Amino acid sequence: MSKNIPLKERIIFALDVPNVDEAKKWLDLLGDHIHFYKVGLQLFLAGWWPVVEEITGRGHKVMVDLKFFDIPETVQNAVAQLRDRGVTFATVHGNEPIIEAAVREKEDLKILAVTVLTSFDESDMRQLGLEGSIEDLVLLRAKKAVDLGCDGVVASPRETASLRKELGDNFIIVTPGIRPGINRDIEKDDQKRVASAKEAIKNGADYVVIGRPISRAEDPVATVVQIQKEIQKGLEERGL
């Protein structure tokens, strides 16, 4: 799998905003620095396809993060709706039949399987009656997804190193839970398994999904530039 990824595409900026006008403001502000954007449930429901077209029309890439989870036929039909829309990545969060249905319909679209949400930790596992570690669960789900034909996975920065060690480099890892800063404490919020962009990239991530650390920064553009420097250092330490 070729992974000649430009630095401006390594950050997938999470457009977690309530309307298309707000999304356009961020595209105007960051468009010279970031060329990849995530559209999640909130913005997709607010703007539907016009917001995706706004992003692709500017020459940027889009990750539609709807985490499809339904009966296989419904997921298959939903994935078909994403084709020929200029979407690069779409996410699926389900069992084997669901993943198989998504892969069957993807064509040029890249399907990413969500392993374990970054808001989930081992105390949550225990409440669900699950044994073992988060890392074990992520590895199990990632291996299954890749074996079933997914192009990659979404996994927290805490699991990227083990995924690369166990499964190799021939799949994409997209990593949320990123907080700026290499040598300082990392801010925590509802995402529990977090790390810096440098750590994530160094350990094997291909892309990092970042929203609030940029959108809530006093100077969002300067923050993007700082994070891209971290990413570059991570790539260099990884030998890329």
Instruction: Give the closest residue to 154 by CA, choosing from 171, 133, 136.
Output: 171
How far out from the chain centre does Cα 115 lie?
A: 11
Instruction: Give the closest residue to 175 by CA, choosing from 142, 145, 153.
Output: 153
- Is 67 a catalytic site residue? yes
Whole-angstrom distance, CA of residue 240 vs CA of residue 236: 6
CA–CA distance from 225 to each of 7, 112, 180, 216, 228 (Å)? 10, 27, 11, 15, 5
Given 67, 110, 143, 233, which residue is catalytic?
A: 67
Whole-angstrom distance, CA of residue 190 vs CA of residue 163: 23
Q: Which two tokens stand for residue 119?
A: 């808001």
Whole-angstrom distance, CA of residue 141 vs CA of residue 98: 13
Active-site residue list = 67
